[in-house]
């Protein structure tokens, strides 16, 4: 059930929190538009009504006008009070308290990809993050290396991901769909290719998905995929990548347990298909310059068996 990706827009909210932020913003815009209309309208009126006419003398001079002064002080004060109330009211709903309640999802920003873990389950995924619709979720936002910033515009506020600190975010998704986001704090050469894809689905679909992600990799492997698995285990791949059910247990790069079930690879850079994977394994620095995976210079045959293995990890 692949849905069309929804373009990131703060103006098409898909969560209760994003809804509140959009309403608050629209109150501000409407109030600002009314003030602008009054100011420009008065200016135009004064320029036309009191423009110089032939034979005019200098008009009478006077100071002080209680009505106008009261208006000029009263209206801005009222606006500040009203908007302060609306802002605090929105913040109370949008920002979670900084206490350590158990999160539904722990998001960690890495150079240059996102990890999502689901506490209470074994599921760990990268870049394509599934969330259930209709339930208030608490996200913990962390960083493994430098400061990143989680932002999925349709789902509400941006949140910095800071090493050594946990930030919190509430998300109550209201509509199923696929929502794009991106790292929003410059974090290095491939900052622009640190995309997020949130797949929002029904509670039942979500539970099924988690159950699949929890399972260790146990695919039926073709002969070349078996050769690939053996090659993988002899190479340093496993010191950076985890494949549950095998000895590979690294946490520097994305968990590859269900690599082949991702639609895209390298945090949204390209479609996940054998050709792109072959290119990546042949020369990572050509495909995503600055990414933290070295070039190994393997012979073509070894790359091919690796591709066969990784493509079987559904
Ligand atoms: Cu980043």
Using one digit for the tens of pLDDT, what is the confidence trace for 197-245? 999 999 999 999 999 999 887 778 888 999 999 999 999 999 999 999 8
Å from CA of 149 to ligand 1 middle? 6
Same domain for 296 and 148: no
Å from CA of 186 to ligand 1 middle? 6
Q: What pLDDT score does 206 carry? A: 96
Residue 57 belongs to some domain of the structure = no
Query: How many angstroms separate the CA atoms of 139 and 232, rounded?
Result: 33
Å from CA of 250 to ligand 1 middle? 20
Residue 58 belongs to some domain of the structure = no
Query: How many angstroms separate the CA atoms of 157 and 147, rounded?
Result: 17
Phi, psi of 284 (to 5 degrees): -55, -40
Å from CA of 159 to ligand 1 middle? 12
Which of 185, 214, 243 is a domain's end point?
214
Å from CA of 106 to ligand 1 middle? 16
Sign (positive or negative) of CA dihedral 251, 257, 260, 262: negative
Count of CA atoms in the C-beta half-sphere (13 A) of 42 = 6
Percentage of residues in the chain having pLDDT higher than 70? 96
Q: Output the average pLDDT for the chain.
A: 91
Kindly report the CATH number assigned to the domain that includes residue 123: 2.60.40.420
Check pLDDT > 70 for residue 89: yes
The H or E element that residue 264 is part of is strand 264-265
Query: How many angstroms separate the CA atoms of 94 and 19, rounded?
Result: 10
Residue 250 belongs to some domain of the structure = yes
Same domain for 142 and 41: yes
Å from CA of 19 to ligand 1 middle? 26
Residue 182 belongs to some domain of the structure = yes
Sign (positive or negative) of CA dihedral 31, 32, 35, 36: negative
Grade residue 2 by pLDDT with cuts at 50, 70 and 90: very low
Same domain for 281 and 205: no
How many domains are there within the chain? 2
Peptide bond into 111 cis (omega under 30): no
Residue 56 belongs to some domain of the structure = no
Q: What pLDDT score does 100 carry? A: 67
Overall average pLDDT of the 85-99 stretch: 86
Residue 206 has a CB neighbour count (10 Å cut-off) of: 19
Overall average pLDDT of the 52-70 stretch: 87
Same domain for 144 and 241: no
Claim: this prediction has a pTM higher than 0.85: yes
Å from CA of 224 to ligand 1 middle? 36
Overall average pLDDT of the 238-262 stretch: 93
Check pLDDT > 80 for residue 8: no
Query: How many angstroms separate the CA atoms of 72 and 103, rounded?
Result: 48
Residues 6 or more apart whose Cβ sits within 8 Å of residue 46:
none
Å from CA of 118 to ligand 1 middle? 21
Contact criterion met (CB below 8 Å) for 166 and 142:
yes
Same domain for 165 and 114: yes
Overall average pLDDT of the 28-52 stretch: 94
Check pLDDT > 90 for residue 6: no
Same domain for 251 and 104: no
Pairing of strands 136-143, 105-110: parallel
Same domain for 245 and 117: no
The H or E element that residue 125 is part of is strand 124-126
Residue 120 has a CB neighbour count (10 Å cut-off) of: 10
Structural domain that includes position 39: 1-51+63-214
* Measured CA distances, 155 to 1, 142, 169, 262, 307 (Å): 21, 18, 10, 21, 35
Which of 214, 246, 278 is a domain's end point?
214
Same domain for 129 and 27: yes
Same domain for 101 and 245: no
Which of 186, 214, 242 is a domain's end point?
214
Contacts made by residues 83-86, CB under 8 angstroms, sequence distance 24+: 83/27, 83/28, 83/31, 86/24, 86/27
Return the bridge partners of 125, or none.
116
Residue 169 belongs to some domain of the structure = yes
Same domain for 188 and 80: yes
């Amino acid at each position: 059930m692949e849905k069309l990706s929804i373009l990131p827009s703060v103006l098409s909210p898909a969560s209760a929190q994003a809804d509140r932020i959009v309403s608050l913003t629209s109150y501000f815009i409407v109030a600002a538009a009314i003030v602008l209309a009054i100011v420009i309208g008065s200016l135009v009126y004064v320029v036309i009504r009191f423009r110089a006419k032939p034979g005019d003398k200098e008009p009478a001079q006077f100071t002080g006008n209680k009505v106008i002064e009261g208006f000029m002080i009263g209206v801005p004060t009222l606006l500040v009070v009203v908007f302060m109330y609306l802002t605090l009211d929105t913040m109370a709903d949008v920002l979670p308290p900084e206490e350590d309640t158990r999160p539904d999802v722990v998001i960690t920003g890495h150079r240059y990809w996102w990890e999502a873990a689901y506490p209470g389950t074994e599921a760990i995924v990268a870049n394509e993050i599934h969330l259930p619709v209709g339930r208030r979720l608490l996200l913990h936002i962390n960083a493994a290396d430098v400061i990143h910033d989680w932002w999925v515009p349709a789902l509400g506020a941006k949140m910095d991901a800071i090493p050594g600190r946990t930030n919190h975010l509430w998300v109550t998704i209201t509509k199923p769909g696929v929502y794009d986001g991106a790292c929003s704090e410059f974090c290095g050469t491939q900052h622009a290719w640190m995309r997020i894809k949130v797949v929002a689905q029904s509670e039942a679909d979500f539970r099924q998905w988690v159950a699949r992600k929890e399972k260790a990799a146990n695919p039926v492997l073709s002969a070349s995929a078996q050769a690939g698995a053996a090659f993988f285990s002899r190479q340093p791949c496993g010191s950076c990548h985890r494949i549950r059910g095998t000895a590979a247990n690294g946490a520097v790069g994305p968990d590859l347990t269900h690599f082949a079930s991702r639609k895209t690879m390298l945090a949204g850079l390209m479609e996940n298909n054998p050709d792109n994977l072959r290119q990546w394994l042949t020369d990572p620095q050509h495909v995503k310059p600055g990414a933290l995976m070295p070039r190994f210079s393997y012979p073509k045959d070894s790359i091919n068996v690796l591709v066969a293995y990784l493509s079987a990890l559904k």
